[in-house]
Amino acid sequence: MPKKSGRPSLSDAQLEIMQVIWDRGESTVSEVWQSISQQRAIARNTVLTVLDRLEKRGWLSKRSVGNSHIYSAAVSQQTTLSESVKRFVDTFFGGSSESLMMTLLEDRKLSPDEAKRIRDRINKAQDKYS
């Protein structure tokens, strides 16, 4: 389902590749392939295909250096995270951030440090919109 941004959502394989790019800043096909190959078996051609699709869909930028293509993120990790969370809240919680937070808080125990960080973040958000 396309997002407001016009970019389609990321599949698990696409997100895995984007994570490598976000972590490294920019990468060649071989660098992405080597990184993922350390975790699981994947064909280099599969990585190339996914990188090309991500570039065509606006997730990546590509520049050529000699015979190599170097890919970098066209969309930041934070933007992607924000869009994904918004879509998740809209889909599963009817757009209610409160429902999401209540579900999270009811379903797990918080350490005192976690509770303090959450309170601090809520206070910052209130100050921002007051």
Which pLDDT tens digit goes with each residue over 68-84? 999 999 999 999 999 98
Q: Report helix, strand or coil for 77.
A: helix
Q: What residue type is 33 in one-letter code?
A: W
Query: Is residue 121 pLDDT above 80, yes or no?
Result: yes
Ranges of beta strands (E only) in the chain are 26-28, 60-65, 68-73
Determine the Cα–Cα distance for residues 95 and 120; give it in Å rounded to an integer: 23
Give the residue among 81, 59, 76 at the shortest CA–CA distance from 22: 76
What pLDDT was estimated at residue 5?
Answer: 58
Q: Provide the residue ranges of all domains of the chain, joining segments of one domain with +.
A: 12-73, 77-129
Percent of the chain with pLDDT over 90: 68
Determine the CATH number of domain 12-73: 1.10.10.10
What pLDDT was estimated at residue 2?
Answer: 39
- The arithmetic mean of pLDDT across residues 15-20, rounded, is 96
Query: Is residue 3 pLDDT above 60, yes or no?
Result: no
Tokens of 102: 């209540």
